[in-house]
Amino acid sequence: MSIVVTAPKEYYGVYRSKWPSIFLAGGIVGVDWQQVLIEKLKDEKAIIYNPRRANFPAEDPFAPEVQITWEFDKLAKAHIVGFWFSSESLQPIALYELGMWGNSREGRLIVIGVDSNYLRKQDLVIQTALARPELAIFESLEEVAEQLKAIVRAMTEGVNG
Q: Would you state the pLDDT for residue 10?
A: 87
Q: Would you state the pLDDT for residue 105?
A: 77
The structural domains of the chain, with segments of one domain joined by +, span 3-156
Q: Would you state the pLDDT for residue 142?
A: 98
Domain 3-156, CATH class in plain words: alpha beta
- Between CA 139 and CA 85 the distance in angstroms is 9
Q: What angle do CA 69, 70, 74 make, to 5 degrees?
A: 115
Give me the half-sphere count of Cα atoms (radius 13 Å) on the Cβ side of residue 60. 9
Write the pLDDT tens digit of every residue in 15-57. 567 899 999 999 998 899 999 999 999 999 999 999 999 999 9
Residue type, 51: P
Q: Would you state the pLDDT for residue 159?
A: 63
Write the pLDDT tens digit of every residue in 144-153. 999 999 999 9
- Could you say which DSSP state residue 36 is in? H
Rounded mean pLDDT of the chain?
93
Write the pLDDT tens digit of every residue in 73-106. 999 999 999 999 999 999 999 999 999 998 887 7
- Helix, strand, or coil (residue 32): coil
The structure's pTM equals 0.94
Residue 14 has pLDDT above 70, yes or no: no
